[in-house]
Structure 1
């Protein structure tokens, strides 16, 4: 009985670590995606500004 309880506890800690790892990876990808979208928007904005100032 004691062995199964220990195994269950180990399994729970593994699942918790896995969930936090997934959370970190998701947050990282979300941050990178928003950053790239922001950079693209800024580039497009500067491009249109340059286009207006050329004329």
Structure 2
């Protein structure tokens, strides 16, 4: 598989990298929600000067 990928033109390799990266970057809705809540808490603490 690597040999085949290395034979691709640079633009094709970049496209392949993008596709592979996107396939790994599927956000978990629950984790995203937890981080959003944590960010809001931290913002409020910062805003209130605590």
Q: Tell me which interval the TM-score lies in, with the shorter structure as reference length.
A: 0.3 to 0.5
Structure richer in helix, relative to its length:
1
Higher-Rg structure is 1
TM-score by length of 1: 0.40
Query: Whose RCO is larger (CA < 8 A, sep 6+)?
Result: 2
TM-score by length of 2: 0.44
